[in-house]
Chain A
Amino acid sequence: AQSVTQLDSQVPVFEEAPVELRCNYSSSVSVYLFWYVQYPNQGLQLLLKYLSGSTLVKGINGFEAEFNKSQTSFHLRKPSVHISDTAEYFCAVSPISGGYNKLIFGAGTRLAVHP
């Protein structure tokens, strides 16, 4: 079985400051990793994904994440945040196997960017 832990439920930060949203996972099989963003009253939008290759993954809106297999982590970072980055961020994993693409989500981290 797989589980995802997002270590911070809320992260307040000032505009133009750097931010890191932490994600740890547990799995007995290899997984693919994802970060999604959800703006108020909207669906989820894929920010970035790690399937294979370089452990540093770049996504949309200036976000990047680094896969650390030994620490089973996939932390999301942005060097300088904007007010428009205020949203809920979800980390998710998908076990690599045949069949349907099951996603296991963390509980989410609410990023609040203040002026």
Chain B
Amino acid sequence: SQTIHQWPATLVQPVGSPLSLECTVEGTSNPNLYWYRQAAGRGLQLLFYSVGIGQISSEVPQNLSASRPQDRQFILSSKKLLLSDSGFYLCAWSKVSYEQYFGPGTRLTVT
């Protein structure tokens, strides 16, 4: 069966510091991968998606970036965090059946 991992689970970072969140998927090959952000009390905002290694599309302009160095690895990064980057970050994967499967999430607090 397929599983999706995210780490770290929680992170507290000062403004201006760099960020690296990692997501890996097991049990499937060539998945579509997604990064979402969920701000407190709000819905999900799609940040990036990837249909293959090195193929990244951005949905919302911001100071975040994403990379896919391996087929089942998706990384969310920032060179300098802003207060507004605080939130709950979710990684998801999908195949041809349209539904997406979500990881456990990373709670990021920028102080």
Chain A min CB distance to B44 (Å): 5
Contact (Cβ within 8 A) A49 B99: yes
Beta-carbon contacts under 8 Å, B2-43 to A: 6, 32, 42-43
- Which residues of the partner chain A approach B102 to less than 8 Å between Cβ atoms? 36, 43-45
Separation of A94 and B102 alpha carbons in the complex (Å): 16
Contact (Cβ within 8 A) B43 A101: no
Separation of A102 and B59 alpha carbons in the complex (Å): 11
- Which residues of the partner chain A approach B92 to less than 8 Å between Cβ atoms? 44
Q: Is B103 an interface position by the 8 A CB rule?
A: yes
CB closest residue in chain A, given B55: A100
Q: Is A51 an interface position by the 8 A CB rule?
A: yes
Contact (Cβ within 8 A) B90 A100: no
Separation of A112 and B79 alpha carbons in the complex (Å): 39
Contact (Cβ within 8 A) A101 B32: yes
Q: Interface size on B (CB < 8 Å)? A: 23
Contact (Cβ within 8 A) A90 B99: no
* Given A90-B44, A100-B51, A108-B43, A44 and B90 contact (CB-CB distance below 8 Å): yes
Interface centre among A32, A34, A103 (most CB of B within 10 A): A103
A interface: dominant SS: loop
- Which residues of the partner chain A approach B96 to less than 8 Å between Cβ atoms? 101
Residue-wise, chain A 30-46 has the 8 Å CB interface mask toward B (1 for contact) of 00101010000111111
Contact (Cβ within 8 A) B49 A105: no
Binding site for A on B (CB under 8 A): 6, 32, 42-44, 46, 49, 51, 88, 90, 92, 94, 96-105, 107
Instruction: For the A-B complex with A32-B99, A41-B105 known, give 10 more contacts whose Cβ atoms are closer than 8 Å.
Output: A36-B102, A43-B102, A43-B105, A44-B44, A46-B101, A49-B99, A90-B43, A100-B32, A101-B96, A103-B46
Binding site for B on A (CB under 8 A): 32, 34, 36, 41-46, 49, 51, 90, 94, 99-103, 105-108
